[in-house]
Amino acid sequence: GGKPYWDQYDGKRNAVNLGFGWDRTEHVLWRLQHGEIDGISPKVAVILIGVNNLGANHSVHDTVTGIKAVIANVRHDVPRTKILLLGIFPWQENPTSPQRVRVNAVNEQLAKLDGRDKVTYLNFGERFLRLDGTMSRLVMPDFLHPNRHGYKMWAEEMEPTLSKLMGDSPIQ
């Protein structure tokens, strides 16, 4: 459902999408260690990973450690690349669900990376929620994956920060 927004915002920037469904940090690390980004030098790398680690019952600590390792590998492979680290999106309908609590705990740790080693942290997960903190099926029908409307919100929220990091004008 996100292809129109990818085309509108990211396709014009010669972007490449290296994310895969069911990805966990260890999968990303394996691909990075086996040449996934060899030979490229992007201006910005957008990293959003971790919810599937939590879904596989990894601890908050292990999930954060995995995300930090992904950042370190990207930093090693493409040292001039700026990193836009996205907070993990809310998971589950209820704000007090164990999954949502764990996502929030990971995001609290990730926020501490903002401004360090060319990392910009951006968390706009609240945009996907109602005022009472519950998630709407109109944005994430399964309370985890955005639909077309959710992808549009994602692109619009990320655009000002991404354009600043890219050094270009925001795309409308």
* Sign of the alpha-carbon torsion through 83, 106, 145, 90: negative
What's the confidence (pLDDT) of residue 19? Answer: 83
Between CA 49 and CA 72 the distance in angstroms is 14
In this prediction, residue 7 carries a pLDDT of 84
Percent of the residues in the chain that have a pLDDT greater than 70, as a whole number: 100
Q: Which residues contact 116 (CB under 8 A, 6 or more apart)?
A: none
Strand 82-86 versus strand 44-47 pairing type: parallel
Burial class (CB in 10 A: 0-12, 13-18, 19+), 41: exposed
Tens digit of pLDDT for each residue in 112-157? 999 999 999 999 999 999 999 999 999 999 999 999 999 999 999 9
Query: Between vectors from CA 47 to CA 154 and to CA 118, what angle results, nearest 5°?
Result: 115
d(CA 108, CA 86) in angstroms, rounded, equals 12
In whole angstroms, give the CA distance from residue 11 to residue 3.
9
Q: What share of the chain is helix, strand, coil (3-state, %, to 5)?
A: 45, 10, 45
Q: Which of 45, 52, 44 is nearest to 21 (CA)?
A: 52
* pTM > 0.85: yes
The low-confidence residues of the chain, meaning pLDDT below 70, are none
Q: Which token pair is 50?
A: 């971790």
